[in-house]
Structure 1
Amino acid sequence: MKLLAIVAHPDDADIFCGGTIAKHADRGDTVTIAHMTKGEYGGFDTDRETVAETRAEEARRSGDELGAADVTFLGFPDGRIEYSLENRLEIVETIREHDPDLILTHYREDMHPDHRVTSRLVTDAYYMASLPLVETEYEPCDPDNVYCFGKPTSTFEPTTYVDISGYENRKAAAIDHHESQVAFLEEHGGIDAEFDNLIEGVAAENATLGKKTGVNSAEGFLALHEQANDYLG
C-alpha cells in the first residue's frame, strides 16, 4: 500500500500523524511526506532561506526516523499558500506522481491559514486526480480516501483512530529532530498553549485519544468519506 501525507510545514507530519506513518512504514507500506513549504517563517534567523534549509534538513532526518520512503518539498511560500486553480492542479500533479492508496492532510477548519488552504487544495485535488480530461504530466489515479488530522484547538472530532502504542518514543524522536522549530514554538507559540511543552503536549493528546479508544496511545483522523476500513491501523 502507498500512503501520501501532504502537510503544510516541516514537523506537521510528525506532530499529527508520525505514529501512523511509522506504523505503516514498519509493515512495508510506502510512505511519502510532501511538504507544501519549507517553513521559512518559523525560525529565529532573520534570513528566511537559511531557516528554510535548516527546516528542510530537519524534516529529512525526521522522515528517516519514521521510515518514510521519500520526503519532498513542493515550493509553496510559508504563510502565504493561496487557493487557486493553478495551485490545485499542482497538487493534482503531486497526487498523480505518487499514485497513493490513501492521502493524509490537514483538517479544513484548523486555525492555521496554511493548514486550512492545504486541506482545501488537497481534498479538491483528490477529486480531480481521477478525471482523465484533467491533463497533467502524470496519468490519472484514484486514491481510496483522504484522512484529515487536526489539533485540539480546532473543532476537529476524529472518526477513525490509529493505535500507535509502542510508537510513542519514535514519534517523539521524530519531532525532536525539528530542533530549531521546537525551540521556536516553545518561545513563540502564542495562543497555541500546547507549544509550551511541545513533545509532552503531543504525547498527552495521543494518550487522551488512546484512553478514549481503549489503547495506550492513538492518533485521530476524519475520513473525507466513510467506507469499509481494512487498514490505516
Structure 2
Amino acid sequence: MHLLAIVAHPDDADIFCGGTIAKHADRGDTVTIAHMTRGEYGGLGSETEAEIATVRESEARASGEVLGAEEVVFLEFEDGRITHSLENRLRVVDVMRRYAPDIVLTHFQDDMHPDHQATSRLVTDAYYMASLPLVETEHPPCDPDNVYFFGKPTSTFEPTCLVDISGYEDRKTEAIKQHDSQVEFLTEHGGIDAEFDNLIDSVRAEDMVYGTQVGADAAEGFLPLHELAQEYLV
C-alpha cells in the first residue's frame, strides 16, 4: 500500500498526521511526503527566502527520516502564493500519477491559511482528474482509493475517522522537533494561529482528546472524501 501526504509546508505533515505516517511506515507501507512549498515565508525577516527554504528543506528531510517516509519531495510552489488554477491542478494531477498512491492525505479546505485552502482544493480536484485517460500529463492515469483530510481545531473540521497512534506520540514529537528553525517563528505567530502556542504540548493534547474518543492514548483525526472502508487508516 502506498500513502501519499501532500502538504503545503514543511512541518505540516508532522503536526497533523505524523503518527499515522509513522504507523503506516512501520507496517511496511510505502510513504511519500510531498511538500507544495519549501516554507520560505517562515522566517522573521533576518534571512532571505532562499536561505529559509534551504534550512526548511533540510529539516523536512530529517523529520521524514524520523517518521519512516521512503521519499520526501518538494513540488516547487511558492510559499504563501499557491493559487487554484487549471495549470496548478494539472501539476498536482501529475504528481499524484507519478506516485499512484492508494490513499492521499491533505489539508481540510476550511482553514485560515490560504496555502492550506488552495492545496486542499487542488488535491481534491486532482484526485478526480488523475484517473481520466484524456487528461494528459507526463505520467499515466492512476486511481487512488480515497482522500483523507486533516484539519486545524480553529476550523469547522469534524473528523469521522480517528487513527489510534498510541505508542507513536514520542516519535511524532521528535519529528516536529526537527523543525528547529520554526520554534521562534511559530511562537511569534501564536496570536495568529492559536495552536502554535506551546506547539508540541498543544499537538499532544489534541491527540489525547481524539484518543479518548476511541479508547486510545492518542489519535489523529481525518475526514474522508468518500465514506468507504477505512482499513488502510486503522
Match of 1:175 in 2: 176
Q: Deviations over 1:30-81 (max 9, x none)?
A: 0000000000000133311000110000000000000000000001010010
- Partner Cα distance (1:175, 1:181) in 2: 10
- Structure 1, unaligned stretches of length 5 or more? none
The amino acid across from 1:229 in the alignment is Q
**How far did residue 19 of structure 1 move?**
0.1
Alignment of 1:44-123 (within 5 A): 44=44, 45-123=46-124
The amino acid across from 1:31 in the alignment is V
Alignment of 1:141-156 (within 5 A): 141-156=142-157
- Partner Cα distance (1:182, 1:174) in 2: 13
TM-score, L = length of structure 1: 0.98
Match of 1:37 in 2: 37
Mapped pair 1:24 → 2:13: no
- Partner Cα distance (1:230, 1:205) in 2: 23
Percent pairwise identity = 70
Instruction: Could you list the structure 1 runs, at least 4 aligned residues long, displaced by more than 3 angstroms after superposition.
Output: none
Aligned with 2:226: secondary structure? coil
- Structure 2, unaligned stretches of length 5 or more? none
- Partner Cα distance (1:94, 1:182) in 2: 30
Deviates more, 1:186-195 or 1:17-26: 186-195
**How far did residue 195 of structure 1 move?**
1.2
CA-based RMSD: 0.8
The amino acid across from 2:193 in the alignment is D
- Partner Cα distance (2:183, 2:212) in 1: 26
TM-score, L = length of structure 2: 0.98
- Partner Cα distance (1:182, 1:142) in 2: 38
- Partner Cα distance (2:230, 2:179) in 1: 32
Match of 1:193 in 2: 194
